[in-house]
Amino acid sequence: MSTTKKKNSKEEGQLETENIDVLGARVHNLKDIDVSIPRNQLSVITGLSGSGKSSLAFDTIYAEGQRRYIETFSAYARQFLGGMERPDVDKITGLSPVIAIEQKTTNKNPRSTVGTITELYDFLRLLYARASVAYSYETGEKMVKYTDEQIIELIYNKFNEKRIYILAPIVKGRKGHYKELFEQIRKKGFLYARVDGEIVELLHGFKVDRYKSHTIEILIDKLVVDEVGDKRLKESIQMAMKHGKGITMIMDKDSDEVKYYSRLLMCPSTGLSYNTPAPHSFSFNSPHGACPKCKGLGRISAIDIEKIIPDNSVSIHAGGIIPLGKYKNSLIFWQIEAIARKYDFDLKTPIKGIPDEALSIILDGSSETFKLENTPLGNSSNYFLSFDGVLKYISNQESSTTSKKAKKWAEQFIKNTLCPTCEGQRLKKESLYFKIHDKNITDLAQMDLSLLSEWFGDLEQHLNEKQQIIAKEILKEIRSRLGFLTRRWLGIFISKPKFNQFIRW
Ligand SMILES: [Zn+2]
């Protein structure tokens, strides 16, 4: 391994020491080496694969710089960051704060900024968990959250002298017959429920259409609102909260108007609720925060239909569906023949002549069963099979862990695209609707550091008194980190596998 250096033409001011001196580095395969790297210059570490370039750059110098950086934080801050181990080295002198940027060939994220690759993001998460304002992703309204006393007060103000139903929402837009659920409700002593907007009596054996989505609320009580101190109102609200997991619904019996009240963050019009946010709600590395579609990567692999059917004037028989190739006497073609019979075309029809519905079954599959004429058991008139579709077959091959060949074959039909759910923002929808001064956490992570410093500069003016108190300590840390980040840096750029570079600017 050798170190070469190139003098930086521009002097960057006086430094305390001239070199970064590493003494007795023994991390991984490093053999107790000493190295002196000039500061304020571009240094390149080169060497054969396995000679320890990364062990020196990453696991020794970067790790130690990072560890010292974290040690400068207050005890308050460190509890959110976790400790770092000291690398196996006798001494490193002349080190300034370190940033490492690794050039990876996979999972390149064009949106990665300094804000996401330093601990700054951890503080932003903390700030958003404590001091942000939640908005409904359904209506854009500010989410609300009340104490039980406030809820009673609000109900009294809105429904005074009115006849109301107190309801506990338990199912929202989900499929099922719910026979057992209705039975449980009955056993708890409730005789009525509101099912898909209608009040129904829960007779023994009551159930709903299992293939349809349903919304169900338990009818807890019917009463006339007359005084705030009403014991029955209070008890019924508590009961509704218990069954509705913190959410109660009030319906005006005469106008059918419905209003939701919640101990949790909730959209006042739709009853959509969010969990109380925690720092992990804003982490794309945590299942609590990551976009469920792309698992926090911001991009997904999707099948590229142009590559599957590049020319729709060709028939399936002639190989128009590229992954299938030309007609063969095989199960998948027998299945497609069965689909073709049902939709009244044949395999020699050019693909553009195939009805849309049938083509979508061929590509995406169907739970419907099709009667095969050719079957693995010879000609049998009673052989039915459902069809998973060509795309499912490709994605199964792509995620194959056993066959590299299958994976490679499938990859030719797959393109890597921006995740349509989070549009590359990597977090789940609700996490993106927690805002501070009109910005969500991703907006901040994407800003460059000088803009971010500016944004934080007068943030208090845009916070209410309560937010200011909660955010005070966190803002102090963020500002000190931002000040720190805009100062001098030792940067390590790693470009693999050809060479490693040290650069300081
Ligand atoms: Zn996503």
Q: What integer pLDDT is reported at residue 498 of this predicted model?
A: 33
CATH dotted code for 303-411 = 1.10.8.280
Angle, CA 54 vertex, CA 48 and CA 56 arms, to 5°: 105
Specify the higher pLDDT residue, 83 or 273: 273
Q: How far is the CA of 478 from the centre of ligand 1 (A)?
A: 27
Categorize the per-residue pLDDT at 302 as very low, low, confident or very high, splitting at 50, 70 and 90.
Answer: confident
Copy the structure tokens of residue 497.
């596998």
Q: Which tens digits make up the pLDDT trace of 69-119?
A: 777 666 666 665 555 677 888 888 877 766 666 544 333 343 344 444 457
Question: Is residue 352 over pLDDT 70?
Answer: yes
Going by C-beta distance under 8 Å and a sequence separation of 6 or more, which residues neighbour residue 240? 166, 167, 168, 218, 220, 221, 248, 249
Q: How far is the CA of 407 from the centre of ligand 1 (A)?
A: 23
- For 190, phi and psi rounded to 5 degrees? -100, 130
Q: What integer pLDDT is reported at residue 480 of this predicted model?
A: 82
Going by C-beta distance under 8 Å and a sequence separation of 6 or more, which residues neighbour residue 135? 141, 142, 143, 433, 434, 435
Which CATH architecture is the domain 148-276 placed in? 2-Layer Sandwich (3.30)
What protein residues have CB closer than 5 angstroms to ion ligand 1?
291, 293-294, 419, 421-422
- Measured on CA atoms in the order 355, 357, 358, 364, is the torsion positive or negative? positive
Would you call 2 helix, strand, or coil by DSSP? strand
Q: How far is the CA of 418 from the centre of ligand 1 (A)?
A: 8
b or e along 454-477 (b: 16 or more beta carbons within 10 Å of the residue's beta carbon)? Answer: ebbeebeeebeeebeeebeebbeb
Q: What integer pLDDT is reported at residue 139 of this predicted model?
A: 94
Q: Which tens digits make up the pLDDT trace of 444-482?
A: 988 877 788 889 999 999 999 999 999 999 999 888 877
Kindly report whether the peptide bond that precedes residue 497 is cis, defined as omega within 30 degrees of 0.
yes
Would you call 326 helix, strand, or coil by DSSP? coil
Q: What integer pLDDT is reported at residue 503 of this predicted model?
A: 34
Q: How far is the CA of 496 from the centre of ligand 1 (A)?
A: 28
Q: How far is the CA of 161 from the centre of ligand 1 (A)?
A: 48
Q: How far is the CA of 428 from the centre of ligand 1 (A)?
A: 7
Question: Is residue 237 over pLDDT 70?
Answer: yes
Q: How far is the CA of 129 from the centre of ligand 1 (A)?
A: 20
Q: Domain ranges for the chain, please list them.
A: 2-97+488-504, 148-276, 303-411
Q: Which tens digits make up the pLDDT trace of 373-411?
A: 776 666 655 666 677 888 888 887 777 777 788 888 888
Categorize the per-residue pLDDT at 5 as very low, low, confident or very high, splitting at 50, 70 and 90.
Answer: very low
Going by C-beta distance under 8 Å and a sequence separation of 6 or more, which residues neighbour residue 230? 223
Q: How far is the CA of 66 from the centre of ligand 1 (A)?
A: 30
Copy the structure tokens of residue 472.
């005070």
Q: What integer pLDDT is reported at residue 109 of this predicted model?
A: 40
Structure letter (DSSP) for residue 87: P
Categorize the per-residue pLDDT at 169 as very low, low, confident or very high, splitting at 50, 70 and 90.
Answer: very high
What integer is the mean pLDDT of 478-488?
72
Q: How far apart are the C-alpha atoms of 72 and 98, rounded to whole Å?
A: 13
Specify the higher pLDDT residue, 326 or 73: 326
Q: How far is the CA of 341 from the centre of ligand 1 (A)?
A: 39
Question: Is residue 323 over pLDDT 80?
Answer: yes
Q: How far is the CA of 463 from the centre of ligand 1 (A)?
A: 30
Q: Which tens digits make up the pLDDT trace of 110-152?
A: 334 444 445 788 889 999 999 999 999 999 999 998 888 889 9
Q: Which fold does the domain 2-97+488-504 belong to in CATH? A: Rossmann fold (3.40.50)
Tell me what percent of the residues of the chain surpass a pLDDT of 70: 83
- Measured on CA atoms in the order 149, 150, 151, 157, is the torsion positive or negative? positive
Question: Is residue 275 over pLDDT 80?
Answer: yes
Q: How many residues does the chain have?
A: 505
Q: How far is the CA of 420 from the centre of ligand 1 (A)?
A: 7
Q: How far is the CA of 110 from the centre of ligand 1 (A)?
A: 14
Angle, CA 249 vertex, CA 243 and CA 252 arms, to 5°: 140
